[in-house]
Structure 1
């Protein structure tokens, strides 16, 4: 797998998901707007468990 496999909003430290009125809301606290888990931006900062997984698989961060 490559870095791009992981580089999506759902694996970023700024990604937030919350349920409001029975609907899911996905939000980037860094960019200050709604997003989706599968979106990808150049400002991606991986969560700690993603970093460990990438290191374990010998992939560059």
Structure 2
């Protein structure tokens, strides 16, 4: 039995509970898949290329006055 199997064996119920909480929180904020980003005040659900990511960071910094 490797370390992952041992952890699942000993903590499986707690892990499932945490995963369920994570899923509920993701549902509350509108995350429907990966990737998803919170960049400053913005939520972006979906992939960004590097230029789009830079634009989102710049917009967030401007919005927040940073």
| Common topology (TM > 0.5) | no
> TM (normalized to structure 2)?
0.24
The structure whose Rg is larger is 2
By percentage of residues, which structure has more helix?
2
By percentage of residues, which structure has more strand?
1
